[in-house]
Structures are given as C-alpha cells and as structure tokens.
Structure 1
Amino acid sequence: MEKGLSDPAKGENEDGEMQLKKTIGYLGGVSFIMGTIVGAGIFVSPTGVLKYSLLNVGVALIIWTICGIISLMGALCYAELGTALPLSGGEYSHIKRALGSPLAFIFIWTAVFNKPASNAARALLFAEYAIQPFYGECPAPEILKKCLALAVLWFLGILNGRSVKMATWVQTVFTILKMMALSVIAITGIVLLIRGKKENTARFESAFSGDIPDAAQIAEAFFQGLYAYGGWWSLNYMAEEVKNPSKNIPWTVMTALPSVTVFYLLVNVSYLTVLTPKEMVSSVAVAVTWADRVIPSVAWIIPVSVAISIFGALNSSVFTLGRLSYAGSQSGHLPAIISMLNVHYWTPAPAMIFSTVTASIFIIPSDLIALTNYFGFSLWLMIGFTCASLIVLRYREPNLHRPYKVFLPVAYGMVAVSLFLVCAPIVWSPKVQYIYAFLFVLGGLLLYLPFVHFKIHFEFVDKITCYLQLLLEVSHANCKCE
C-alpha cells in the first residue's frame, strides 16, 4: 500500500501504520452499551432498591428513574471526551491527558485487579445458571462450575482477540435476546395493568403510602440502583474503533441509556404487578419467582435468559478490559508486549490474553472475588476523576476540537455525585477492609516511581518480549504496513 493513503477498515492510518480497525457502528455501539448494562441484576435481584426504600413502591420507582438520569449524565460527559479524544482505554486515557500520568497509573493499577475479578464473578454466575437446571434442587459441583467459567472466559478472550467484527456480532445477537426477554416481562406487566384487576393494581394505587426512608437508606438504595446501571461507560474504551465517533458516540449514548431506563422501570412495574413488595424482597431471583407465577409451563425461559444476559455482559466486559490493558501498555504503564497488535487480525491479542489470564487466576481461588467488593468506592473515584478531567480540559485546552459538548454543570454534578458515592460507604458503614483497599490503590505509586517515573529497566524483559512477539505474531501499533 502506498504511503500517505489510509484504509481504516484494514487497520492502517494515513502513514500506512498499523492501528485498531474502525469496525463499530451505531448499532454495534448501542449493543455494547446496553449489553454491558443489562446483566443478571434486573433478572435476579432488583430487591435492593425496594428494600432500602422501606417497601415504598413510589420512592423505589423514583430512585430507579434518578439512577437512570445520573447514568445518562455520566455517559454524556464521557461522550464529549470520547468524541474530542477518540482513544482506546476509556477513563484511563482521559485522566492521563488532563490530570497526569500518576493518577492514570493508579487507575490502571486498580483496574487490573478489580475488573478481571468482576469478569471472573460474571463467568462463575453464568456457569451456575447454565449448570444448575441439570441438577434440580441439588447443588452443582464447584469444580464443574469453575471449569465452565474458565471455558467461557477463554472462548470470549480468543473470540475478541481474533475478530472485533465477530465480537460485535455476538454482542448484538445476545443484546437482542436479552432485550426480548425483558420485553416479555414488561409487556406482560402492561397487559395485566390494563386488565385492571384489583390484585394487580393495588401496589400502585397507594404507591407512596409506606414509610419514607431516611438519608442513609436512600443512599443505600441509590447504590443498588446505580450498580444495575453499571457499564454506561463502556463505549469510551473502544472509541478508537468507532466509525465516525463524533456522530456515533453521542447518538449511541442518547439511545441506549434512555432505553435501558424505560425497560428497567417497566420490568419493575411488571414485577410489582404480580408480586407484593414483601414477596419481591424475600425472593432470591425475582424474575424466576415472577415466571413461576405468570408462565409456569415455560418458566425455564427466565433462567436461560439470565445466562444469556450474563454471557452478553461478560463479552462486552472482556472486550473493554482488553482495550484498557492495550492503552495502558501504549503509555508505558504495562509491559510493552501488551500494546502490540496481531499482524493477521489487527487486534490487541496480547492484551486480550493478559486480561483473560488475570481473570482466570481469580476464578481458581474464587474467594479472592469477595475482596473486590470493597473496591466499589474506587470505581466512582475514577468516574469523578474522569468528569473532573472534562472540566480541566475545558479550561486548559479551550481550542480542542469538540464535536459534542455537554452542558458544563452536568460535569460538575457528576463530580459531586461521585464524591458522595465514594465517601458514603466509608462514613455510614466503616470497615477495616476499606482501609486495605485504599492502601492498595495508593500502593500503585510504589511501582510507578521506579518503573515509570525513573524508568528502571531490565534487559531480560526485552528478551522475553522478543520471544513472545515471535510466538504470538504481533507487532507494535506504529509498525509500517507493506
């Protein structure tokens, strides 16, 4: 290919250098966002919001709505950053640009521990729902669940490492399937409400008649709701691979988040149409209880839908984690081999292998996953840093081309929300584990100073990198294409 020509579809830029392919369009972006957000939570246990709302139906539905609005606010902030700086790595790339390398390193240091553990937890949950129907009321063997979880992780790791187009296609199919399942629940609830039977409408006629929760309980309810919306930030991790990002990123965000919010509200209304608030709170898997009550002859559809939902969310999470590792390596914050692209597929195969191996380690002694529950505050800390990055860049780089600009008070609001969600669990339920988690986060600086700031380097690392480069058939992203 002649130098100076570009072919993004083949993974080449204007100088004929290797780069990630631009293969994700509008539909693929919507599928990734919705597929990441809609996991097992809305099917299994949307009881937390209702529980901490003191079974007050009206308050619970308002909280679900506000959680959707907060998620949309955050996604719009990320849309501005993604269109102005369409780079792989999501928050990491934006924090590094605006707030500096040390904070970016702390982010990736925490994410390399926390995000693979989250993937491991999803894989184990998928295995549980996929295997349990074959064992009836008896518990499925742990070794079998772990083997299936490992198999699923590696299948998705290899799939995402070989073909972005195939991974996007899988994500689209599984997103459609899970939204069909949610549609069945939502439409059934609407039909039951239209029929107007007393037992179906009673909960809504006196929606605000229950006790009003206090501030701490409302905060806990918001934690539960926002957890169900987790994943709205996923598109920024693949901004470099989005076709026409200045147009597609904002439109995918403004399509996906309102759609998920509407679905979540309709599904909760459907649950409350069939079940009382006390029945919902006491149910381990609300959707399964709902199906046993409404469609007992085909109630097995719901466990299958849960497994499909988890699989789709896991696929998206595997994809984004690989891009985060890739971006971190490009900046010198992770080993150089991770920033290389496969010469046949132009995909970050080493990054996918690295993230999949890390998640596999968490599956084997699965008790490690419990430790990551105390890192929830770090997620919102980094979201706060990212939204602060938007504010900093507005003032420091006013001439930066921004195809989309969010209303600036929205960014300030997200910083305030993030600060509250970081401090609330530590203040209201202080535990020594939070101190350990905080020290772990800061511990990243002990690696940053010698290996990044002072650039301490070992020659044997170069030899290992060269060997792996030949073995995996990978090359640096700035390598010239013939």
Structure 2
Amino acid sequence: MATHSKSTQLRRVIGYFHGTIFLFSIIIGAGIFITPKGVLKYSSLNVGVSLSIWAACAVVSMLAALSHAELGTTFPRSGAQYYFLKRSLGPFVAFFYLWINLFSTPAGIAARSLMLAGYITQPFYPGCFVPEMPKKCLALAILWCLGILNARGVKEVTWFQTVSTAVKMTVLGFVSVTGIVLLVRGRRENLARFEKAFDADVPDASQIAEAFLQGLFAYSGWGVLVRIAGELKSPSENIPKCVVTALTLVALIYLLVNVSYLAVLTPKEIMSSDAVAVTWMDRVIPSLQWAISLGVSSAIVSSLNCTVFSTSRLWCMASQEGQLPLILSTLNIHSCPVAAVIQMLIFASILIIPSDLILLINYVGFTDWIQLGLMMMGLLKLRFQEPNLSRPYKARLPFVFGTMAMSLFLVLTPIIKAPQMYHIYVILFILSGLLFYLPFVHFNLGSTYFNKITCFLQLLLNVSPTDDTDEYISTGGNVQKNPPATATKKE
C-alpha cells in the first residue's frame, strides 16, 4: 500500500444538458408504451378522466420533484436521499430506505431486462411465444454489457444516454404528430370520442388512486439527479432547472401520445391490447412496426442504464456511512463504484432466473410513495431542527405539504378501500430488515471478517477508497468541502 497524490473521487462532469438527458432517459422508459391501458382501466374507460389523470400526474410529479430537489441542493453529494434521511430521521429509517432499494431496484432491472429481451427476440419467433432460455440469456448479456459501460465512467454513460434518448424521442414524436394529423383529418366517430370525453362512468376514489399509481409509474425516476448530485456541476442551480425543463416536455409528450392512441383506437381496443403502441402502429402503418420495437427497446435500455448508474451511487454513499460493506464505496480509475455496480448486477441476474417478476415489483412498487412521504417529513423536521443550514434552493411549503398529502392518499386509499394481501407482505418485508440492521449495522458484528474480504476484493478489482467521505457544505450556488486527509491507496 502506498500514498497517491492524485485524488480519487466522483467527478462533477454532468451539466444542465446532460442532466436533462438523464431525466428524459429514466422517466421515459417502457411506461408510456404500456401504462395507458392501466390508466384507462381504472378510469372506467372514461376518456376525459383518463387524460385529466395524465395531466394531474404531471402536476403531482412536478411538485414532488421540486420539493425533492431541496435534498440534492442542500446536500449536493451522491446518494443525497439516503444521507438526508439519516441526518433528519436517523440511521434506522435510512437503513429501511436502503433495505427496500437493495431488492426492489435489482428486481425492476431484471424485469425490464426480460421485457427488452422479449422485444428483441420476438421477431425470430413469429406467431408463437419466445422460449424462456434464449430470452433469459439475452437479458443477462444486456445487463452485463451495461455493467461494462458503467465501469468505463461518466462520459461514456452520458453519450450513450444522449443517443438512446434521441432515438426514443424520435419515435414518440412520430406517434404524436401522426395521431394529431389523423385526428384533424379523421372520421366523425374519432372526434366524437373527445367531444363526449366525460360521458362514461366516473370512477370512485379507490379507482382514481389506482389510476394515479399507474400514471405516476410512467413519470417515475424524477429523483435521479438527487441521487447523482455529487457528479453534477452547480447542483443548486441545475437540479431545479433540469426538473422543470424535463418534466414539462415529458408531460406534453405523454398527453400528445395518449391523444394519438385514442385518435386511432377505441378505449375497448386499448384495453384488449397487451402493447398499445404496437397495436397503434399495426393500425396506422403496419410495415413500420419495427420502429415501435426500436423505440421501446431504446427506452428500456436507456432507463436501465440510468438506473444502474444512479443506484450504484446510492449504495456507494451508504457504504461510506457504514451501513453497507466498505468495498462498495471504492472507485476504479474511471471514478466508478464498480463493486456496487457488480453487486447490483449479481442481484438482478439472480432475479432473472424466476419467470414471474411482475408480482415482486407490485409488492415493493408502492413503497416509493411511502419513502417520498418520509422524505417530506424529514425535510420539515430539518427546517425546524437546523434552520440556519444553507439551502441554496428552498421548496415552497405548499409543495411539500401537497406532496405529503398525495403520498398519504396513494398509500392509504387502496389499503382502506380495497385491502390486498400484498400490503401485508410489503410490511413484513420491510420489518425483515431488522434481522440485518441490528447485528451488522447497530452492533457491527463480523467487521474483522468483512475487512479481509474487502482487502481481497480491492486487489481483485483494482479499486481504491474515495477521498470525498467528508461532508459537503453548500454555500450559495457553489459546493465546498473540508480538505480531505490523505487517503491510503492501493499501489
């Protein structure tokens, strides 16, 4: 072991443009191609209610994202959500946030990898189901290729995100423009669908809550910039600007795409379709179905890559704070927490083996809004607890309280109106984290054994501990930190 003069830390190389691209990448995934069916279903096939919920989801997401942005601007370091929860509500709550992410994120990655592999392999098996073995092998190959890309550093990831985002935006732009043209030049019954938009049955409160959850799934991922705040240039300025720009454009695209779907397909036809975008293209230009497959594939792969990138930073921060093994906070020569990326891909690869992952995702999916409610509580607590803490961007209190109210509505309404067994399963899953928190975090058992493993893996992966473990302090629009002590590096 020797001392290197060169600093090993996450680098601030992501500006406004690429920050906006990251938001586009993770928000516009497979959701807009599949969730319109779910929103329409829980809207009781009421076209007006369905479009209103899409617009309301955009407003709710914007308010939540702007409230959430205060976390990343006050503590501009990677994994800011985790660090914020630990500082405001204590290590116990922070660990449960981490515990849920340790399993829900790899499960979501595995499910989307299988979905992507299915889209790619389906043309080779026309008229029949794709065999599970080649689909799973391709999903594994995609996962580990993304792992290699992430290990190459931030610049390679941002360029990949830019290209894949351009592809899916082109496809969605084509769907939007074509639908509007068909609507303007269309038949009378197509226009009547919008003229009598609110004539169908009106859904009850529990159905509206379910419809919101479906729509908000398509907007999910807006917190990614807070997770990677340690690699953003001028985070106090760029996080709010990127959020407003990206979510405004996404909301506009989503509304136009939904109008385009309804201009071509009836609500019942949308309900009977497994892939709305494919059915839409089959009705409009059947020879261009490959374009929809390309759009869906690029949407899924860019969202996958962004998830791997941002979650590895969260695990890196938790490792620095002592709630995950130290090896996960080490960086390679490209400033990537490669050990965290590898662990995530191992978990996701194991979860690819079973075929039904959608059920697992349903169990843990609604916990996102539980976590967001906790963050808003922590935000209010920290304002009273540390009123003099520098906050370059401060969320308005109506936004914060509105986000908390929406969180309570989305979590409690389905439980009260239509309780399901999976609600109990989620609670049991969260409480099972105690079995790990008490011995390994609270009492720090087995630390000597873990140190030996850390030394071996550090040599194997050629990684070094980071220099940026000191707390970041935000002052005005800039980022400062205490000068780090000289770290011990691997030769």
- Range into which the TM-score falls when normalised by the shorter chain: over 0.9
In structure 2, C-alpha distance between the alignment counterparts of 1:296 and 1:465, rounded to whole Å: 55
Contact 1:21 1:346 in 2 (8 A): yes
The equivalent of 2:335 in structure 1 is: 346
2:228 pairs with 1:242: no
Percent identity for Structure 1 against Structure 2? 54
Match of 2:319 among 329, 354, 369: 329
Q: How many Å apart are 1:243 and its aligned residue? A: 0.9
Q: Quick check: 1:246–1:404 contact (8 Å CA) kept in 2? A: yes
AA of the residue aligned to 2:53: I
| Counterpart-to-counterpart distance in 1, 2:447 and 2:385 | 37
Structure 1 162/144 Cα, relative in aligned 2: closer, same or farther at 3 Å?
same
- For structure 1, list consecutive stretches of 5 or more residues without a partner in the other structure: 4-11
Instruction: Show the 5 A alignment for 1:10-25.
Output: 17-25=7-15
Report the equivalent of 1:176.
166
**Structure 1 CA distance for aligned equivalents of residues 201 and 450 of structure 2:** 62
C-alpha contact 1:90 1:234 (8 A) present in aligned 2? no
Q: 1:410 pairs with 391, 399, 409, which one?
A: 399
Per-residue deviation at 1:402? 1.6
Q: How many residues align?
A: 469
- Partner residue, 2:471: none
Q: Which runs of 4+ in 1 moved over 4 A?
A: none
- Distance in 2 (alpha carbons) for counterparts of 1:437 and 1:443: 10
Among 302, 312, 316, the residue aligned to 1:312 = 302
SS at match of 1:474: coil
The C-alpha deviation readout for 1:259-300, integer Å capped at 9, x for no partner, is 111110000001111111111111111111111111122222
* 3-state SS of paired residue (1:46): helix
Q: Work out whether residues 381 and 418 of structure 1, in 8 Å CA contact, stay in contact via their aligned partners in 2.
A: yes
The answer to whether the 8 Å contact 1:44/1:306 transfers is no
- When structure 1 is superposed on structure 2, of 447-456 and 32-41 the one drifting more is 447-456
Deviation, 1:92, is: 1.4
Alignment-mate amino acid for residue 120 of structure 2: A
Which residue pairs with 1:446 in the alignment?
A: 435
C-alpha deviations, 1:187-209, integer Å up to 9, x for none?
Answer: 11222233354133121111111
Using the alignment, how far apart are the partners of 1:327 and 1:161 within structure 2?
A: 17
**Of 127, 131, 148, the match for 2:121:** 131
Q: Which of 370, 383, 395 is equivalent to 2:359?
A: 370
**Residue equivalent to 1:187:** 177
2:133 maps to 1:143 = yes
Could you tell me how far apart the structure 2 residues matched to 1:379 and 1:244 are? 27
* Cα distance in 2 for residues equivalent to 1:151 and 1:456: 36
Q: Is the Cα–Cα contact under 8 Å of residues 82 and 97 in structure 2 kept in the other structure?
A: yes
Is the Cα–Cα contact under 8 Å of residues 106 and 351 in structure 2 kept in the other structure? yes
Compute the displacement of 1:157 (Å).
Answer: 1.3
Q: In the alignment, is residue 109 of structure 1 matched against residue 99 of structure 2? A: yes
The CA deviation at 1:323 is 1.1
1:71-90 equivalence runs, <5 A: 71-90=61-80
Query: Mapping of 1:57-96 within 5 angstroms?
Result: 57-96=47-86
Aligned to 2:482: none
Whether 1:422 and 2:411 are equivalent positions in the alignment is yes
Partner of 1:385: 374
Stretch of structure 1 that moved more, 259-268 or 35-44:
35-44
The residue that corresponds to 1:257 in the other structure is 247
Task: Give the letter aligned to residue 429 of structure 1.
Answer: A
Instruction: Using structure 2 for the length normalisation, give the TM-score.
Output: 0.92
Does the CA contact (< 8 Å) of 1:45 and 1:285 recur in 2?
no
- 1: CA distance between counterparts of 2:235 and 2:10? 14
Asked if 1 retains the 8 angstrom alpha-carbon contact of 2:176 and 2:256, the reply is yes
Q: Indicate the SS of the match to 1:115.
A: helix
Which residue number corresponds to residue 287 of structure 2? Answer: 297
**1:281 equivalent in alignment to 2:233:** no
User: 2-side partners of 1:213 and 1:348: how far apart?
Assistant: 47
**Helix, strand or coil: the match of 1:367?**
coil
CA–CA distance in structure 1, aligned partners of residues 253 and 262 of structure 2: 14
Residue range with higher mean Cα deviation, 366-375 or 255-264: 366-375
- In the aligned structure 1, how far is the partner of 2:439 from the partner of 2:208? 44
Shift, 1:368, TM fit: 5.3
- Corresponding residue of 1:8: none
Cα distance change of structure 1 residues 465 and 155 upon mapping to structure 2, 3 Å threshold: same
Q: Give the superposition deviation at 1:45.
A: 4.3
**How far off is 1:471 after superposition?**
0.8
The answer to whether structure 1 residue 476 and structure 2 residue 439 are counterparts is no
Quote the offset at 1:458 in angstroms: 3.9
Alpha-carbon distance in structure 1 between the residues aligned to 2:252 and 2:283: 23
Aligned to 1:437: 426
Question: For 1:475, what is the secondary structure of its paired residue?
Answer: coil
Q: What is the distance in 1 between the residues matched to 2:420 and 2:42?
A: 20
CA distance in 1, matches of 2:315, 2:343: 8
* Distance in 1 between residues matched to 2:55 and 2:83, nearest whole Å: 30
**Which stretch of structure 1 is more off in the superposition, 410-419 or 99-108?**
410-419
Question: Alpha-carbon deviation of 1:32?
Answer: 1.1
Give the Cα separation in 1 of the matches to 2:17 and 2:323: 33
Letter in 1 for 2:132: E
User: What's the secondary structure of 2:36's corresponding residue?
Assistant: coil
Aligned CA distance change for structure 1 residues 377 and 40 (closer, same or farther; 3 Å): closer
Q: Which amino acid aligns with 1:126?
A: L
